Amino acid sequence: MQWIGLIAIISWALIAVTGWPLLRDGITADGAAGAAVRWSIALIWGVTLFALVIPSVMSLTIARVITPLAATAAVIFWWTTSDTTNGAITSAAAATAASIVGTGEFGQKSVQASAYGDEQRFPLRAPSAFLVASVIAWLLTAVAVIVAIGMLGDNNVVSTVVGLVAVALVVLGAPRWHRLSRRWLVLVPAGVVVHDPLVLSETAMWRRHHIAGASLATSDTSAADLTGPASGHLIEVRLSETATVVLTDGRANPRGRAIHLTAGLIAPSRPGAAIAAMRQRGIGP
């Protein structure tokens, strides 16, 4: 798993070498405005490099938000400048970094770095509806940011409005994107914890001796869906006695909606690895 992070770091570092000439030629603003945008982009690049080098939950959010934005910007600069060689290399490097940080392996490495004591964290896949909304919000934000950078230096009302919209979208979107990084299946000595502030109003905790088994869920399962719902392979955790789980239930019911279950569905991004870790810990037969 270490090589994944290393390739992402190398790809991101390469952007600084081949991307700076693109940035110099692609930013049309002169004087203080041009210098401000170049150094702002350099700062964002440095923050992202730090996030790639020092994994954490916050680093995961930063990497997953900024690397695809860099890939998009690199393609635009490649298209609008005459430097085809640097454009191709920068676009490929940014796309590689963005692809890597989106993998389940990179996500697990990042959230595990923030783990406490003897616990294993496995990121959960996002509920399909929330993921679509998050992607749309990111696309709108990316367009606003890129357009705002392109219009920097234009002394008109439109450039000011676009800049303010970009800032507002970043402020509104950041906590929602970070919430996706704070959803984990956690294995601890006492049993299993489902930490999911998006789907659960209260963290679900099941003691080891109450867990009857865990396996990939079948299509005809009757287990309670605790995934949002999310797509892909799910894990079914079976309990030996009834447990209570509190689901989020909108603003009309801020305390959530309690359900009673003897089996629950969970959607870790690496279900096979999660099941194997549970077996190693002796959780479930």
Q: pLDDT digits over 21-60, tens only?
A: 887 776 766 667 677 777 888 899 999 999 999 999 999 9
Task: Say yes or no to pLDDT of 158 above 90.
Answer: no
Domain boundary (157, 181, 205) is at 181
Domain boundary (126, 161, 181) is at 181
Give how many domains the chain has, as a whole number: 2
For the whole model, what pTM was predicted?
A: 0.91
Structural domain boundaries, residue 41:
2-181
Shared-domain flag, residues 12 and 103: yes
Pairing assessment for the beta strands 184-188 and 191-195 based on DSSP bridges: antiparallel
Shared-domain flag, residues 139 and 56: yes
The token duo for 60 is 């995961």
Ordered alpha helix ranges (H), 81-127: 84-101, 104-113
Residue 51 covered by a domain: yes
Instruction: Give the pLDDT confidence score for residue 249 in this predicted structure.
Output: 82
Instruction: Name which residue leads in pLDDT, 147 or 172.
Output: 172
Shared-domain flag, residues 76 and 127: yes
Q: What band does 155 get if pLDDT is binned at 50, 70 and 90? A: low
4-25: pLDDT as tens digits: 889 999 999 999 999 888 877 7
Shared-domain flag, residues 77 and 13: yes
Shared-domain flag, residues 159 and 132: yes
Residue 66 covered by a domain: yes
User: Which residues have a Cβ under 8 Å from the Cβ of 110 and sit 6 or more positions away?
Assistant: 55, 56, 57, 59, 60, 63, 181
In 3D space, the residue among 64, 58, 56, 108 whose CA is nearest the CA of residue 268 turns out to be 108
Domain boundary (126, 157, 181) is at 181
Shared-domain flag, residues 196 and 168: no
Instruction: Give the pLDDT confidence score for residue 253 in this predicted structure.
Output: 79
Shared-domain flag, residues 13 and 59: yes
259-272: pLDDT as tens digits: 999 999 999 999 99
Shared-domain flag, residues 43 and 100: yes
Shared-domain flag, residues 48 and 160: yes
The token duo for 7 is 């390739």
Q: What band does 281 get if pLDDT is binned at 50, 70 and 90? A: very high
